[in-house]
Each structure stands twice: as C-alpha cells, then as structure tokens.
Structure 1
Amino acid sequence: MLKLKTFDRYVLHQLFVALLATTGGLAALIWLTQSLRFVSLVVDRGLSLRVFIELTSLMIPSFVAVVLPITTFVVTLFVYHRLAGDRELTVMRAAGLSPFLLARSGLICATVAMLLTFALNLWIVPVSYRDFRQFEFQIRNKMAAFLLQEGVFTKLSDAMTVYVRERDHTGMLRGIMVEDDRIPNSRATIFAERGTMLIVNDQPRVVMYDGSRQEIDHKTGRLTLLLFDSNTLDLTSSKSDQVRPRDAAEMSLQELINPDPREVSERDRGKLAVEGWRRITSPFTAFSFAMIGMVAILRGAFSRHGNILRPLFAVLAVIGLLALNLLLQNLASRNMILIPLILIEAVVPGIVCALLLFASEVRTAGQKIPSSVRPNA
C-alpha cells in the first residue's frame, strides 16, 4: 500500500504540474490574441495600461473553461505515454498493479478538472463576463468622454467626433466642435466657446455655452443654423447604447434553461437552451477526454519500440468529438429535440473507455470465490 501511495503521488504531481502549466500557457496565449481587440481603447482613447489589463483579465476565466477539457486530455496522454516509454508502467504491472490502480491518478486528475470546469461554467464565468461587459460599456460610453484630449479629434463612436481646443485646471472645455451623425440623413456640426462635462443617469453629457448648431437635411439640401446660449449634448453613440443588451454568456443557468418570454423571443430560445446545456455537459468532456488518453496508453500489449498509433488515434478521436459537439450545438439551436444528444456525446465516450479499460478487471474480480465461502479441506 505504501508503494501504491508513493506511485499515486508521483503521477499526480506530474499531472497537476503539467495541467497547470499547459492550461495557464494556452489561456495566456488566447488572452494575448483576444486582448489585441482592445488596444484601440489605449491608443485612441488614452486608457491607462492598468485599466486595459483589468478589463481584459476578466475574460481569462472563460478562456480557461474552454481549454481545460482539451489540456486535461493532452496532459493525461503525455504523462502516461512518458511513463510507458520509461518502462515505469511495465514495472508497476510486474509489481501486480491492476489497470484501475495504474489509472487511479489519471481518474483523480480528470475528476478535479471536471469539478473545476463545473465551477467555471456555472458560477465564475457568468460573473466575470458580466463584469467585463459592464466595464467595457462604461469605458466606451462614460469614461471615454472624460478622456478628450486637447487639440485632438477624438472619435467617440462611428457617428460622433469631438474636438476640444483646450481644458483648464477646473475641467472647463474651451473651443468645442462636435460632428454628430447619429440621426440618419442628417449631419449636424456644433460649435461652442466653452462647455463642461456631466453625468446624468449614468450617461455622459456635455453642457455647451455660446455656440451654434449647423444641420444639413440631405433630402432638401437646406442648411439650418441655430444659435444657443446653452445646450446639452448626449455623448452616447445612439439611444440603444443607453441600455446595455445582455449576452447569453453572462446569464445564469436558470435564465438560459427557463428564459423570460417577455425578454427572449421564441427564435432565440433554442440558442439559450444550447448554451445552458453546454455549460452542464462540457465538464463531462474533461473526464471523457482523459479516459480516451488513458485507454490509448494502458490498454493493449506493451511494445519495446513504442507505439505511436494509439496516441494518434486518441488525438483524432478527441478532434472528432470536438467537431461533433459543435455540429450538435448548431443543430440543437435550430431543433431543441436534439439537445439530449449533446449530453450523450459528452458522457458516452467516457463510459465506453471505462468499460474497455476496467471490464476485464471487473470480470476477473467477479469470478473469484470469496475465502469465506470456500469449502473446508
């Protein structure tokens, strides 16, 4: 028993260290590529590096939830393949360890990965993604308005550009020009001698004094000129930007499975249901993928020269399951009757691999006669 515990600790140490390094490295790589989309917020709107890192780091839990089942398979396959290549599995088999005892460390690692994926999918990712969307919304619609640079044409949105000649120590803006294209077929240009920034109902606005508003009607070609002593301008890009739409990734599991019919159209119910079942079933894929990796190494005869075919088949099997999962999600979003197939696709491969790996051991144990029922000599 002491040797068995030592072997388990030895394998678990390799599994968890490799899993942490692989998952962290892959998540960091995805974060780096995805965060490039927000570089424009730093370059164009002058956000600090701290705000940029704080914003993009909220996406990391969602990256980890996606890559964890895959990295669990890669790590399990790699560690057990290395143990087989170093003849360590051969020695353990010769010492009398059964396939279950050899795979126990991998089963523990797969179970931990599965539970962690459950926590990510059902709690951590929805909360972090909701905070990310809210933070991004505030930056684009409120914070950016306070980052107007002197002597620079600041593009707040595709429909609005603001120029400020200078800003004094009290925060007063001087020499303001606004190009406002938010109303279709009507372009307005606003000039003001001075102005100040305000937040009204969590929306950025600028109060301008002593200015004019020039507007051209594209249908008639007429120019309308309006002089004003005081005018308040909303700096959000459109009316729809005043209320942030919710994304399926930030909804709770209850909201996805049983959406409010007043908020969700019948056409979108299938997409929400698929997202909810994806959160429930994807943790099981971490366990199933790990079982595929262990079956590829532990089942079959030992080869002195190594066997690259079984690991290759395992990789192809996981790639096929990932493709099948995407196909089923796409089909189930259109026809909700197919949703149970997503659960079957996630669970059945793990059950099949467990039967292939441990069935012979169970049969052998069942054929043994307990000593308590043996006849006396």
Structure 2
Amino acid sequence: MVYARPKRDRRGRVLGTFDRYFMSQLLSLFGFFSLVLVGIYWINRALSLFDTLIQNGHSAAVFLEFSLLTLPGVIRLVLPISAFAATVYVTNRMREDSELVVAGATGFSPLRGARGVLAFSTIAALLTMILTHFLAPVATDRLATRTDQIAGDVTAGLLKEGRFLHPSPLITVFIRAIEDDGRIVSLMLSDRRNPEMQTLYTAESAYLVRREDGPKLLMFEGLAENLDTRTNRLGITRFEEFAFDVTELFDITGPGRRKLGQIPSATLLTEPARVIGESNRDREDIAMELHERTTQGLQTLIAPLLGFAIMMLGGFSRFSAWRQVLAAIVALIIYDLADNLASGLVNGRAALWPLLYLPTVLAGAAALGLLLQAGSSRRVAHGAAP
C-alpha cells in the first residue's frame, strides 16, 4: 500500500512565509539598534580611555586594543534592549501598514505570531549567553592583564629626562638624568592630592622596580617636605630610603586577584577549586555568578515577547499604537527594576538564588497572559461582527 504524502495547505504556506518575513524584519532592525546602541556606549567608554591612555604616553594601538576589549561587555548590556526595541518597532510598523490585518485574514493570532518572535528572541538570547558566559569574561580577563602590564610599564609616561611630567593632575615629576643601568639621578616628585597636606619629595637617586603588588619608586638619600596648608607650617623629613607606590600616579591600576567576572563559565563549573584559590571566593559566590549570567541571557529571551504581547493588545489598526508602545516601554522598565531589586535581595544570600529568576518568570507569564487575552478579545470581536 502506498501512502500519499499530505500536502501543506495554503494557510500553512502563507503563515510560514509570514514567519520568515517577520523574522527577517526583526533581525535587520535588531542589528541596526544594536549597532547604534553599542556605538553610543563605546564612544562614551572610548573617550575616558583616550584621556587615560594617550595622556600617559601610550600609543593609539594600545587605545584601540583597550577599546575593542570593552566591546563584549558593552554588547552584552545592549542586546536585551535592542531586541526589545526591534520587536516593538517592527510590530508597530506592521500594524500601521495593515500587514497584521492581512495576516489575520489567514488565521494569524497573537499567540501564533509569537512563534516568530520566540524564534528571533531565542537567537538573540543565545548570542547574549555566548557573550555572558564566554566572550565577556575572556575579554575582561585580557583587559585586566593588559592593564596590569601597562601599570608596570610606566616608563612611557614617567621616565623622561629633563621634563616636568604630570602623570595625574595633582602630581608633578622631574628627572634630571637616567643612567644606562636604570638609575635615576636627581628626582623631584610633588604630591598635591591631599589639599591639607602637600608633599615634595627630592632624592639624589632612585630606581623604578616592579613588585607583585605593583611598581614602586625607590628613592635614596632625600627629603620629604610636608606643607600643612591649614596652619601653613612646613615639616622636613630626611630619609635614606623611601618607597613610593607608582600605581597611585595613574588611573590605570593592576587587577590583583582574578575576579569571577574574568573567568569563563566553563572554568567556573569544571575547576571550582582552582577558581576559589585564584579569586578568594567560595562556591556560593561562583554559583551566584553563574545564575546572574544566565538571567542576563533570559532577559533577551523574554523582553521581546513581552513587548510583542503588549503591542498586540487593542486589535490591528492603521493608526499609531502609541499607547501600546508607551505601555511596552513602561513594562520593560518595571521588568528591569524588578531584576535589579531581586539581585539586591539575593546579594550575600546565596540560598535565595531562585529570586533571581522570579522577575523573568513573571514577565514570561505576563507575556503569555497578554497574548491569550489579545487572542480572546479578537475572537469575541469577530464573533460579534455581523
């Protein structure tokens, strides 16, 4: 007996085509909004990095490297917002262009339309998960390593002969000469960071040495002149040897112990003992870090669905759905505030980790409820029509 393969009906083909069209619109706007938001965040970070690095004598290549290493963390923060914005924008445009009306004539319902949004938000959530669990920690660790190297390699910004240098606004350094063996001859260092007690160091010789806790400037045979600006009294202290923490001269400092944010999730899961030794944190802290990273990805999954569900309220119309747009934005703000509140409540209380997922669960339930409400309202309207 030969069984004939059932053919897909016309309605199924139309809805499948509509799903592909809907997803293509969502993905294109998602890329656009992500590019714009990442650019805004990146420019803001790049300006501060430029002031810190270039003014301390580092090259443009170092500035570019640091800027690129900050991108994964920026993109991770932007993706949930851009996915939500793309969903609300595309849905609103399709309402105004009557595309949803045409789709509704083929059996399109709010719950059925959420299938395309769910596929889109799943792709966005996977990208966010990759960033939060792998790319962002790797980039953060590399950034911390390079920061430590630059903090130790201060010769570009400090060891220059015959010039008054200003590593920071309230620090002035002058070096008369530097010998081939690295010995500094005749050093002057003015420290005005404390407005009540300004100090002027002078030394016949000095060496710049690197230690585990950061670079130190070892000064020999010198004076420390302390001016008390409150009483205008000057105190002079002679020293044979004095160590000055050079990292205090720069805004860039070494990272010290590795932080959990610098370690990929795979390492947190497979090598917890080594992570505990490196970060000086316990297993509960590691578990909390993993939960927080996961909730960031889930936000990208749920936020577009919540925005789409609210946009489907009120029926299909060619008129502007500004009320739905405003309601969607307010819902996203409430969702974010609830997530921050849950993080604050769980902070330091690892046993309360399920609370981290509560805002996402509630937002998902709200999205489902709104979709069902929109579908039932539309069925009632169609049933009441003559």
TM-score between the two structures when normalised by the length of structure 1: 0.75
CA distance in 2, matches of 1:17, 1:243: 39
Name the counterpart of 1:307: 321
Find the residue that maps to 1:246 and give its secondary structure. coil
Contact 2:187–2:203 (CA<8 Å) still a contact in 1?
yes
Whether 2:156 is the aligned partner of 1:146: answer yes
Find 2:276's aligned residue among 241, 260, 266: 260
Deviation at 1:180, TM superposition (A): 8.0
- Is the 2:14–2:106 Cα contact (8 Å) retained in structure 1? no
Unaligned ranges ≥5, structure 2: 1-11, 229-233, 377-386
Structure 1 residue 111: Cα displacement: 0.4
Q: How many Å separate the matches in 1 of 2:104 and 2:361?
A: 29
Q: 1:244: which partner in 2?
A: 256
Give the Å deviation of 1:127.
1.0
1:81 pairs, out of 65, 86, 92, with 92
In the alignment of these two chains, the number of paired residues is 349
Counterpart in 1 of 2:51?
Answer: 40
Q: CA deviation at 1:29?
A: 0.8
Q: How does 1:94-133 map to 2 (within 5 A)?
A: 94-133=105-144
SS at match of 1:12: helix
- In structure 2, what residue type is equivalent to 1:333? N
Match of 2:358 among 344, 347, 350: 344
1:44-83 deviation digits (Å, cap 9, x = unpaired): 3111122112112211111111121111111101101101
Cα RMSD over matched residues? Answer: 4.2
The answer on whether the counterparts of 1:151 and 1:166 sit within 8 Å (CA) in structure 2 is yes
**For the Cα contact (< 8 Å) 2:310–2:367, is it kept in 1?**
no
* Cα distance, 1:332–1:205 mapped onto 2, change above 3 Å: closer
Alignment of 1:141-290 (within 5 A): 141-148=151-158, 149-156=160-167, 161-165=172-176, 175-179=185-189, 189-192=201-204, 212-215=221-224, 221=235, 223-224=237-238, 226=240, 235-237=246-248, 244-253=256-265, 254=268, 260=276, 264=280, 274-290=288-304
Q: Is the 8 A contact 2:110 2:309 kept in 1?
A: no
Residues 86/361 of structure 1: CA separation in 2 closer, same or farther (3 Å cut): closer
- Partner amino acid for 1:213? G
Distance 2:144 2:225 in 1: 36
**Alpha-carbon displacement from aligned partner over 1:106-144 (angstroms, at most 9, x marks no partner):** 1111001111111111111111111112212222x2222
- SS class of match (1:18): helix
Provide the residue aligned with 1:324 in structure 2: 338
- Mapped to 1, the partners of 2:247 and 2:374 lie a distance apart of 67
Q: 1:180 to 1:271 in 2, by over 3 A?
A: farther
Query: Deviation string for 1:274-313 (max 9, x for gaps)?
Result: 5432211121111211111111223442335343222221
Change (3 A) 1:225 1:329: closer
Per the TM alignment, residue 154 of structure 1 is displaced from its structure 2 partner at its CA by 3.1
Does the C-alpha gap of structure 1 residues 132 and 9 become closer, same or farther in structure 2, counting only changes over 3 Å? same
3-state secondary structure, aligned to 1:289: helix
Question: Cα–Cα, structure 1 residues 282 and 225, in superposed 2: closer, same or farther, change >3 Å?
Answer: closer
Distance 1:207 1:360 in 2: 73
Residues 230-283 of structure 1: per-residue CA shift (max 9 Å, x gap): x99874549xx77714334224443899973896478xx887655432211121
Matches within 5 A, 1:40-59: 40-59=51-70
1:189 aligned counterpart, secondary structure: strand
Tell me, in whole angstroms, the C-alpha distance in 2 between the residues paired with 1:71 and 1:257: 34
Q: Taking structure 2 as the reference length, what is the TM-score of the superposition?
A: 0.74
Contact in 2 for aligned 1:145/1:204 (Cα 8 Å): no
**Retained in 2: the 8 A contact 1:160–1:237?**
no
Q: Out of 37, 58, 61, which is 1:26 matched to?
A: 37
